[in-house]
Amino acid sequence: MGVNLNKIVLAIDIGGTFTKLGLVDPKGQIIASRIFKTGANEPFEIFKELFHTEIFRLISNINSENIVSAIGIGAPNANYKTGTMENPPNFNWGQTIPLKKVVQEMLNYPVYMTNDANAAALGALRFGVGKGMQNIVVLTLGTGLGSGIINEGKLIYGQYGMAGELGHVNVFPEGRQCNCGLKGCLETYVSVTGMKRTVFELLSNSNSASILRSYSFKDLTGKDISEAAHQKDGIALEAFKRTAKILGGKMADTVAHLEPEAFILTGGLSQAGDLFLKPLKNYMESALFNAYKGKVKVLLSKSTRTEAVLGPAALAWENILTKDNP
């Protein structure tokens, strides 16, 4: 007599600071999870050992009604097509990290991997505010600016698996120096780090009093800028305005490429809420080509930090469900 087992997936979110593991059901319920420090500055071998231990701790607790059917991984600069992390910034793990292969050697399940922003886009589409939509662009506004583009329900991967790097569209040809070597990349303006740079630019150009004059660049956080803005600090408000103006213009350009139904914003900067969202919508709208005006939504992701595993979980589920119904 057969037993009906419930399919679940193992989801892995690798961040610069923390790695999160989760067992996730088809509805996006997180059945069990673990979190540990990634140790991105240590050699990859050290991570590998800890990773192995944590994964087996997690799956050893799976009860007999559930069965893991696939593994999804989201990681910085991960390439869906090659299964490697390619030159991830802030990681000391080497140039090309064969993460997919490492997981495949650990566990005998199908493994799917993509970059963290692509995974976030799949998560928003299957479990988040993008549910039921077909065409969305997800922007992760954290330390940098990541993006995942969904067209007709599927991620755009591009010719070699690296499409959707909107953090590196150009704002000003001779603009701010970016970590990538180019100048004027969007993420040097629109990200938590970009906002800090804008605050310091404004502080250098003006004489006006500001709460933000008490912070070093190193200590200043996105939250500090938000709080200053809520207290009507002129510098903080201007920094939000400039950031919204730049991003709004670039979102209009993205619409001219893709005509999405909605943008979905996530990450540190998105947590400023209406302070950022309202001017952003207005700036985008004023820069849109006629055919698009009044049609494109701008939404905030409601998922919390612990839900980061829902992105890679969605990647795994997408692949399972495509196989079940080819």
Please report, as ranges, the residues that interact with a second copy according to CB under 8 A: 77, 86-87, 134-135, 149, 151, 156-166, 168-170, 173, 180-182, 185, 249, 252-254, 256-261, 287, 289-292, 295
What is the closest distance, in whole angstroms, from the C-beta atom of residue 258 to a second copy in the complex?
A: 5
User: Of 55 and 136, which has the nearer Cβ to a second copy?
Assistant: 136
User: Of 6 and 177, which has the nearer Cβ to a second copy?
Assistant: 177
Q: How wide is the angle at C-alpha 120 spanned by C-alphas 125 and 24, nearest 5°?
A: 80
User: Of 25 and 86, which has the nearer Cβ to a second copy?
Assistant: 86
What is the closest distance, in whole angstroms, from the C-beta atom of residue 98 to a second copy in the complex?
A: 17
What is the closest distance, in whole angstroms, from the C-beta atom of residue 304 to a second copy in the complex?
A: 28
* Cβ–Cβ under 8 Å, residues 263 and 277: no
What is the closest distance, in whole angstroms, from the C-beta atom of residue 287 to a second copy in the complex?
A: 6
Distance (Å, whole) CA 294 – CA 286: 10
What is the closest distance, in whole angstroms, from the C-beta atom of residue 117 to a second copy in the complex?
A: 12
What is the closest distance, in whole angstroms, from the C-beta atom of residue 110 to a second copy in the complex?
A: 21
User: Of 115 and 143, which has the nearer Cβ to a second copy?
Assistant: 115
User: Of 24 and 166, which has the nearer Cβ to a second copy?
Assistant: 166
The residue type of 64 is S
Task: Name the CA radius of gyration of the chain, rounded.
Answer: 20
Report the b/e string of 14-44 with b at 16+ CB within 10 A.
bbbeebbbbbbebebebebbbbeebbbeeeb
Q: Is the dihedral of CA 145, 150, 156, 161 positive or negative?
A: positive
* Cβ–Cβ under 8 Å, residues 121 and 150: yes
User: Of 218 and 257, which has the nearer Cβ to a second copy?
Assistant: 257
